[in-house]
Amino acid sequence: MSGPSDKARFYLERAVPQLQEFKEKKMFTEHEIRTLVKKRSDFEHKVLGRGSQPVDFAKYAAWEISLEHLRQKRCQRLRIKDSTSFSGQARIFSIFDRATKKHPGDVALWMSYLECAREAKAMKKFKEVWTAAIRLHPTKSELWLYAAKWALQTEADMNGARSYMQRGTRFCTTNKELWIEYAKLEMIYLAKIAMRRRILGLDVDNKMDTDETVEGNDAEDSGEFMAFPDFDEPKDKPNTLKLGMIKGVSVESEATKDPMSTPALNGAIPMAIFDASRKQPFFCPTAAEGFFKMFASFKQVKCSTAILQHVLDCMFETFPADPCTSNCYVRQPLMGLPPTSPEFPAALGIALERLKETEAVSKDKNELAKKTKIWAEKILKVDDLDPDIKLVLGHTLRKLGA
């Protein structure tokens, strides 16, 4: 069996045609070529050695990626016809292939491989790598989440993103983060619909600024304004077709119905995801609080108020005396209100009344005080905050001993 040195020579010899082109087209000087050959040789001997680690392959791939970027820049500057791009990309993929075969259990390597394929816009390769990774690690939530994010942001495929999340939740029954991200995906979808209706002038009551973004996701993608083709006119129009009426159904009345009145656009899907998560092994007060905080971050979605109330009702039903439930109940009036808004002082008064109410029933007052200190200190750091609000919050914190 050949040793590491023979294997290293084999892989180095495969790059000789590329190095010859570097020299012929004067992309790199002879000294630079000797340097990069030495660097490659060091990397090859290191990854082929007996004690190689996943990080060694990652460093090798990162170096090759930086070399490929440098080559592209020099080709552009020197106006050289780019004919080695595929060989450079193939070499990077080859390194990742060898890395994942030698260390198949390292999820970070698979994630790096996926990111490399995505940045290179090698969609076929991306799907092949993701399929191989998910077969080995079906319970790793980061792989499902990455695929859903790729489907939504790269291909603008909401159905595909949903499919990845649904399949992921079937495997990851002990991971609350994936379930929260699944609900967040649906909230992002609702937020985009709300924004587009605002831009098109269909939702004049929505005061959301068009520049506002959703946490963790751009508010709009490149497909915001899309040209839709007109329907072809039917060749043979039936004589029974009357303007505004088809078989007794009023077209005008159907057209004037608000599409936002449908259950799916009023938060039915996020609430269903939350209800399904209650049956999972991971569900606990902390998980419920995570759902609540995530839903609260989507203040531009009209149905978020109803969703928050639904989550809070479930928390009172399941964990009535837990500090997480009390904290969500106290913070509910403040959700979506900037501390400098005119409505904030009245909402703060309601929140503090709720704090007094929950202190008497909470099973862990110290934990509730810690949670109260976190959101109160964030408010106190706001610029141009009303002095009276500062005074009230300061007194509250001193009273809690926080």
Residue 367 tokens, joined: 């934990």
For residue 79, what are the β-bridge partners?
A: none
Q: Residue 402: exposed, middle, or buried by beta-carbon count in 10 A (0-12, 13-18, 19+)? A: middle
| pLDDT in single tens digits along all 402 residues of the chain | 467 788 888 888 888 888 888 888 888 888 998 999 999 999 999 999 888 899 999 999 999 999 988 988 888 888 877 665 678 888 999 999 999 999 999 999 999 999 999 988 888 999 999 999 999 999 999 999 999 988 888 888 889 999 999 999 999 888 899 999 999 999 998 888 888 888 887 765 544 443 443 333 443 343 333 332 333 444 444 443 343 333 444 444 444 455 556 787 788 999 999 999 999 999 999 999 999 999 998 887 888 899 999 999 999 999 998 999 999 999 999 988 889 899 999 999 999 999 988 888 888 888 999 999 999 999 999 888 889 999 999 988 888 875
The CA distance from 103 to 91, in Å, is 18
Residue 248 tokens, joined: 């007794």
3: which residues sit within 8 A by CB, 6+ positions away?
none
263: which residues sit within 8 A by CB, 6+ positions away?
none
> What pLDDT does 83 receive?
63
Candidates 84, 65, 67; CA nearest to 25 is 84
